[in-house]
Structures are given as structure tokens and as C-alpha cells.
Structure 1
Amino acid sequence: MLRVALTGGLGAGKSTAGRMFKALGAHVLSSDEMGREMMQPGQAVYRAIAEFFGPEVVQADGNLDRAALGKIAFAEGRVEELNSIVHPAVIERQAEIVSTIAAEDPNAVVIVESALVFETRYAGESGWSSRFDKVVLVTAPEAVKVARFVQRATKGAALSEVEREALELEAHRRLAQQISDEKKASLSDYVLTNDGSAMELEWQVDQLWPILKAQARTA
């Protein structure tokens, strides 16, 4: 089995690459999706967040107010406080799933999609290097990342100049809290460049897939 980290900064397109790898047969675990599930009412992570950040991050229907939580975390510089609650739980759950997959399919390629592979402090003493056999980085120019963030946040709706500037500022703020693509590339085994069309990214994924499969058989 091969354990692969798929990472990239906000708006780089790692989720798109993840879907492409999944279509080819990879087992893909999304850290963001796991985190969202754990932040649902009734979950231990939900309770910990509500207790730590207070009632202002809980909506009237009992769900977390993700916008309010994001504002507190990013605008007020409390990201690490949020990460300290979410990351350990997500990493533990991923380890359990990877172990199950390994037992069922020794030749599997398991890809963990996460923006903060290198940044998180909650991956054990050896950090990311003990969790993964290979790291795949998806990169894009910062202007492209910011534009994708705005598009995703608004779903293409028309924005005023003030609204657009606010979202772009938020994107830059979040990117500033992630290490640079240059640094990530120096730590990664493979780099996919996503500054063009989806077809161009898919071509790169298609080229890399048989390499990962071969490594899974010999790991």
C-alpha cells in the first residue's frame, strides 16, 4: 500500500486533482470533508468548538456558524486554536481508515487530501513524514488561487467592488498563514501545476497515476 498526501494552498485545485485520482481507482480521503462531518451537532469536535469559542459560533438551529467561526479563526488570528481541536481528531480518524484499507487491499493507493500537510502540528513527533510515503503538491499562481476562492465563495454571483475586495483580502490572509509553494515543492515528491485548464491537470494526474500504482505494489 502507498500512503500519499495530496496538498496545495487555498484555491490550488487539490480537490479537483483528488477527484481525478479517485476516478482512476485511488482511495481518497478529504480532510475538509472529515472536518465538516466532525463539526456537526452531536460530534465531540462540535462540542469542543462550541465550548471553546462560545455561543457566538452556534446558530439558532444548533449548527455551527462557519462564517463566524472562520472570522474568529482567520481575522482574529486564532486559527491554531481551532486547528488544535479539529486536526488531532481528523488525523486519528484517517489513520483508522488507512489501516482498514491496508488490511483489505495491500496494493491500494490511499490519498489524503489536505491543505495543511506540512503546517499542522498535530501529526505526531515525526509529523507528516511518518504519515505518508509520498507527497503530491498542486500549485497555481497566487492570483489564480485568489480568483478561484472568490468564485467558490460567491458561486459566480455578481459582486460590488467592496465585496470583491473583502473576499480577495480574506483569500490573501488565509494564504499568508500557509507556507509558500516554493517551500512545499522542496518537501514534495511530485508537483502538479494547475494554472491552465482542467484537461491539463488531468493529463498530469494520468501520467502520475501508474507511477503511484507501481510504488504501491512494491511498498
Structure 2
Amino acid sequence: MTAELFPRARAEIAPGAVQVPDWLDPGIQRELLAACREWARPPAGLRTVRTPGGGTMSARQVCLGWHWYPYAYARTVVDGDGAPVKPFPDRLRELGRRAVADALGPAAVAPEPYDIALINFYDGDAHMGMHRDADERSDAPVVSLSLGDTCVFRFGNTETRGRPYTDVELRSGDLFVFGGASRLAHHGVPRIHPGTAPPGLGLTGRLNITLRVSGC
């Protein structure tokens, strides 16, 4: 990435919602990408998510710890190959704890550990509609890590999928955490900017690693 006149700074997008640019260094990004490629292999690998109305999500997904399907969690891939969900790794548990502490402060770290990872892969045409992460019993902050192509991340309000919302540019290595008053805010990804991934990463498209606490 070319040098910028002013380095991007940490920003509070809404109460309890914070973006931390370049939180993941290039080495960690490469390690996470390699891990994602392993997690995406079958069984319980990367799949297309089908909605109750018969549609499909354009971003493909693999889950760790708990398998998410619209709109519940299971221990097996009930809407796919039926295999047991892959285990949630300790390195992501620690990454989630550290992410919340860095973004929101140590007091915001939940006592229960992170135990869910939803990993979404976006190609250049993929997007994600406005939605809330409301299927967990815990209200612990949600942690979002970006790898690959830059995206427009739309962060809204808790009442409606429409305005007011703020569009944020998330680049490879960026951290976004939302909890507290913003824990149930609607959010989505209206578009991806193809070809913007760091050349040394070796990824075409965008990976988003979302960490949550189930409360189960």
C-alpha cells in the first residue's frame, strides 16, 4: 500500500463501535489467510448460505466453534454436508480478547471466552445486506477482522436497516469492534473494491473473520 499523507487513526464510529486501522500486521494476516484456507476445506467447509425465503447469500461462509445458519446455531452443518463444525481455535480466542481490549478498553472484555467464528469470503461482486448479529445469548462485543480487498462497511442503528448509517472503508488488517449501545446495530457490506488487497498477501477477494461469544 502506498504511503499516505496522514496515517489513518483509530475512530469511534458510534458509541461502542470502534475502527482500528492496520491492527493486524502483514505477518499475522498471512498466517490467518493460510488458516482460513485450511478451515475452508471440507468437511464442514466453505458453503453457500441459503436464506429461509429461498435466496442465497453472495458471500460464502465457513464457521468454527458453532455453525450459524439463518437464524440459529448448531454443532453440525445442518444446512450443508451435516458434518460436525470445526473446533474454535485458541489463537482466535486470544485474538478476540485482545481486540476488544485494544478497541474498547480492558473493562469491555467479556468474562466468557469467544467461541464462534463466522468467516465470510467475498469475491468482487459479493455484498452483505443490512442485518443485526442477534442470534447469540451473550451481549459481548463483536470483533471483525478484514483480510484482502478493501470494502465499504455500512454501520447503522439499532432500530432500522435504513438511515442513519455511516460508511467506513475497511482495509486488509483493519479491526472493527462493536459492543455496548451498538451491539445490535444493523450493518452490512454494500460493495467490495476488487484488486485492492496488499500485493504480498496473495488473496483475490476479501475475507472477514467475525468473532462472537455464544453465551451457551
TM-score in terms of structure 2 length: 0.26
Which structure would you say has the larger RCO, counting Cα contacts within 8 Å and 6 or more residues apart? 1
Larger Rg: 1
TM-score in terms of structure 1 length: 0.26
Judging by fraction of residues, say which structure has more strand: 2
